[in-house]
Structure 1
Amino acid sequence: MGARGSLARQLLVWQLVVVSCLLCAVGVLAVTQAGNNFRTTEGRRVLSVAETVAAQSVVGDLENGPFELAAPAETARSFSGVDFVVIADSQRYVLASPYPDQLRSTLDIGDSTVLSGRSWVGELDGSIVAHVPVLDEKGGKVVRMVAAGSKSPGFFAGFLDSPDNALRVLGVALVIGVSGSLLLARRVKNQTLGLEPHEITALVENREALLHGIKEGVVGLDPQHRITLVNDQARALLALPDDAVGRSVEDLDLNERIRDLLTGRATGADQIVLRQGKVLTLNRMPIDVRGAVVTLRDRTDLMTLRDELDASRHATDTLRAQAHEFSNRLHTISGLLELGEYDEVRGYVSRISSAQGEWRAEVGSRVGDPAVAALLIAKASLAAERGVGLRMAPDSELDRVEDALSTDLVTVLGNLVDNALDALGGEQGWIEVGVWQEEDEVRVEVRDSGPGVAPEIAEEVFEHGFTTKAAAHGQRGLGLALIRQACVRRGGSVEVHNSGGAVFTARLPR
């Protein structure tokens, strides 16, 4: 649901607004019409009642007091249905009234013209009142006055009794309802970009087919980093639960690197992450203030192919280094022969054979796995070309292991030795490799004489994969992340500390 609510909720709110406006208009019109009708009709009626009472001789006889005047006033009130009939003298002193507390008080006549000898009809104290003067026999002097009145009706009183009013109100209601519906329809059409319901349905169906049909993963996020949509490919690549939609990225079981990329804390194109044995490439595209869209691609096959190419390249580099080394030795032997230094040639060849034989013998005696032994022998030539000495820890020992563990050992050892060579940066130094076979695991340790690993990135080089920060410190971030992946996949671990240089220790359960 968007920040402004669902379309159904908006329709409900606007319909309620239209109905409320309609009811208010009906109420205002009803009250106005009822008031006008009451003032017109009731004004005539109370005037007629007042004139009838004023015309009676008993009212005009000044000899009659309050007792004689009460009877005609009450009779007129009862038969006419008005609320009150009051008789007062020319000084507005009340002589007859249906309200006992009003007797012998002064009658309030407002701006009535009755004292000037003319009848008057108007509103007074919330009632429609008629004042009629009673003149003397000569007809020129007001001797008494008669007031008849009815209280104004309550809200909507008399509205339903008038068919004309009902028809007018229904007409107004129809106009307001139609106008409100047209405005609401226009608003909805603007919000749906002019699409009809069947077009919206087709668009949603096409979107779903597109999202779930492509091979790339797509994740939609709102400004609060909650997942709004996710297709099948993204769910599989990130191993998301079924209820991932609507949940925050921070609440999901994702590593820190992936969370940083999904939330935008880490930026950049084609960012590489590792997730459950898969190498993924993430790209995040912000969408104004509505959130972001993240696309994912599985690069596991490409990375596997790259690793195989790297292995081939390393083998080629090793062969090239060996060929270069052999070429140099042959040139040296050739030069000694031309100089006739035959004894020196025999000594030189003996020393070369002895050094190579010693390294092969040492590796062969300590490492029983052929793949690992071949890797160490090959890496020795590569290290020698760079002026780096490669040696084994004195107590190293490894028997032949199963193929899966042998493959992982080659991956871990190869990447650690390459990482150490890169850390030395072409400077002379040494690398020490140790391999120990324990009861339930194989422990690998590679140390070098380089500058070591900055303490603040000791964990980052494993967790974040390839980053600029890691690369700046000479670390092969992705290679180290792959080492950790290989170890963790077997239930092991890898860690690094400094001791005269970087010391990487990997543990791989058997």
Structure 2
Amino acid sequence: MRTQRKYCSLWSSVVRSWRSLAGQFLLFQLVVVAVVLTTVAAVSVTQSTKEFRDVRGQRMIAVAENVASTPLVRDRYADPFAAQLLAPDVDRAVNLSGASLAEIIDPAGTVRASSDPLRIGATAQLGDSNVTAGRAWFGDVDIDGMHSLVGHVPLLSTNGDVLAIIAVSEDYPSVWELLSGAGERLILYLGLGAALGMIGSWLLSRRIKRQTRGLEIAEIASLADHREALLHSIQEGVVAVNNEGEITVLNDSAQDLLGLAPDAVGRHVDDVAIDSAVREFLLSGEDVRDVVIATPTRVLALNRRAATSKGQQIGTVTTMRDSTELASMQSQLSSHKSVTDTLRAQTHEFANQLHTISGLAQLGEFEAVTEFVGTLTRRRAAISDAVTQSISDPAVASLLIAKTSLAAESGVALYLAPESHLSALEPAMATDVITVLGNLIDNAVDVSEGSAAAQVSVAISDDDDLVITVEDSGTGVPEAMRESIFSRGVTSKTDVPGGRGIGLALVRLVSAQHGGDAAVSDTTTGGAVFTVRLPRIGAVDV
């Protein structure tokens, strides 16, 4: 019983080894080697058979002609005792030629004399021979169940009649005899080829097993299926690019975020239709984290890391997530912060004014108090009137009033161009206009603070499209940055740690979502002019 279990265990181990990837590959290679060897052997046998038929067929005819030319055969072929009289001649033909059988056959097909006495009187099989027409012939004929090569020569009378048929035949050699006849070297080469093929197959199977980390076919297929499922189910976009700049992996989320089709895999990054900033990012090789890039339709946060194999870099893997909503929330928080800062500035200003009023009252200067309060009221009304006379939308007007006070605290004068005009907007459009205007003003105030003129000019027009223009007194935007400043989360201010960037990215995003555009140019005095065009949305009644 123990021996039986040991045998079963050994057999199971052998079966498992042949089921492995390396075992299957070895088996496949052995089959290929066997097929090649069989083909070579078959070709060799075919060639040897053809050579045997051509050479020995002519030899059989020659021997038969020699027998036919013997005077005794010509004289005694029809003798009743021909079998005994001619036996030495047919035996000599067999002995001299190495043939298997020599016979003299009458025209009716009866064997009259034969090297095999048992065939005397039997009916000979002539096959496809045309010897009865008086022509010599050689070919294949089955004699007593043996496939033989036969040569037929007619014994002719003086007037050309066939008197008898001389048949000399030789059995076809076996396959092994044919292979042996092809030479011992062929057997040696076949054996050597088989041995080398098996050794090479075994070595190759071992290498494949090492390269596949010992994983079998089912395990590799399962890993590939899990990889595809994971890549295409995660919410973050994943893009892998090899060292040649070709896209090797692109999951569903990345296709959606970048607007690409699945056939982008295998193509060079330069050959697919994606935003230029994203293309430049994908082709860069450094490891970076949380880079914000605004495309015309989305704000993307990207991370890139180098992919290595055996210590060699094979490309990069970039992950990306849609931060559009996050950026919008950041913009809203910035707007709330702006209002908070404005209230804080106004609180500080009102506190100073209350202290002044309190002091005047304590001194009994009531007329001065009245004059001071009137001045403050007129100044505050002038600011509100200057805005509300041109801007009918209350949300936009409130933003401009708040930004005017906030800019003043930073030492920057904010002006609304007298020719500005804006009707009341739909709530959704008003929110987008506030996002664009608030970010442009904040950016302009930042770069204008500390400059000689220290002023920001805002112009709004809705005659055709809604056009917003914000001009600052800063140092301008270098021409090389005029495209990337809207895309990459950068800023033209060198003294702002980390840059602002996201605000301008939102400006371009909002304008693109409405089918408009955003651009920047220089003023004649060296500052920058940001111009945003939005398709006009019908005004509402107020």
Distance 1:212 1:242, change over 3 A: closer
Match of 1:190 among 210, 226, 236: 210
Instruction: Map Cα deviations across residues 243-274 of structure 1 (whole Å, 9 max, x no partner).
Output: 11111111111111101111116763111112
Give distance in 2, aligned partners of 1:164 and 1:492. Answer: 87
Comparing 230-239 and 453-462, the one that deviates more: 453-462
Comparing 182-191 and 335-344, the one that deviates more: 335-344
Comparing 310-319 and 446-455, the one that deviates more: 446-455
Letter in 2 for 1:176: L
Letter in 1 for 2:437: L
Distance 1:419 1:329, change over 3 A: same
Comparing 266-275 and 324-333, the one that deviates more: 266-275
Pair 1:218 & 2:218 matched = no
Instruction: Map Cα deviations across residues 205-264 of structure 1 (whole Å, 9 max, x no partner).
Output: 121122122222111111111111111111111111121111111111111110111111
Give distance in 2, aligned partners of 1:280 and 1:459. Answer: 17
Letter in 1 for 2:484: E
Letter in 2 for 1:172: L
1:371-410 map, 5 Å? 371-410=395-434
Pair 1:438 & 2:463 matched = yes
Give distance in 2, aligned partners of 1:290 and 1:323. Answer: 60
Give distance in 1, aligned partners of 2:510 and 2:369. Answer: 47
Match of 2:277 among 224, 233, 257: 257
Instruction: Map Cα deviations across residues 165-198 of structure 1 (whole Å, 9 max, x no partner).
Output: 6665554343222212101211211221211111
Give distance in 1, aligned partners of 2:328 and 2:217. Answer: 48
Instruction: Map Cα deviations across residues 16-36 of structure 1 (whole Å, 9 max, x no partner).
Output: 9x969x98xx99xx9xxxxxx
Distance 1:473 1:497, change over 3 A: farther
Runs of 5+ unmatched residues, structure 1: 1-6, 31-78, 82-156
Give distance in 1, aligned partners of 2:296 and 2:481. Answer: 22
Counterpart for residue 90 of structure 2: none
Contact preservation (8 Å) 1:465, 1:480: no
Give distance in 2, aligned partners of 1:381 and 1:296. Answer: 39
SS at match of 2:314: coil
1:203-352 map, 5 Å? 203-264=223-284, 268-288=288-308, 289-352=313-376
Distance 1:454 1:267, change over 3 A: farther
Distance 1:354 1:194, change over 3 A: same
Per the normalisation by structure 2, the TM-score is 0.62
Per the normalisation by structure 1, the TM-score is 0.66
Distance 1:471 1:282, change over 3 A: farther
Comparing 211-220 and 413-422, the one that deviates more: 211-220
Instruction: Map Cα deviations across residues 481-505 of structure 1 (whole Å, 9 max, x no partner).
Output: 2112211222222222222222222
Shift of 1:473: 7.0
Distance 1:168 1:455, change over 3 A: closer
Give distance in 2, aligned partners of 1:262 and 1:361. Answer: 51
Percentage identity across paired residues of the two chains: 43
Contact preservation (8 Å) 1:380, 1:390: yes
Shift of 1:407: 1.8
Contact preservation (8 Å) 1:261, 1:267: no
Contact preservation (8 Å) 2:291, 2:488: no
1:142-221 map, 5 Å? 160-161=180-181, 169-221=189-241
Contact preservation (8 Å) 2:246, 2:268: yes
Give distance in 1, aligned partners of 2:204 and 2:381. Answer: 91
Shift of 1:354: 0.7
Q: How many residues align?
A: 374
Give distance in 2, aligned partners of 1:320 and 1:369. Answer: 24
Runs of 5+ unmatched residues, structure 2: 1-20, 45-95, 99-176, 537-542
Give distance in 2, aligned partners of 1:347 and 1:268. Answer: 61
Give distance in 1, aligned partners of 2:370 and 2:450. Answer: 32
SS at match of 2:457: strand
Match of 1:472 among 482, 485, 494: 494
Letter in 2 for 1:503: V
1:40-119 map, 5 Å? none
Letter in 2 for 1:466: G
SS at match of 2:263: coil
SS at match of 2:519: strand
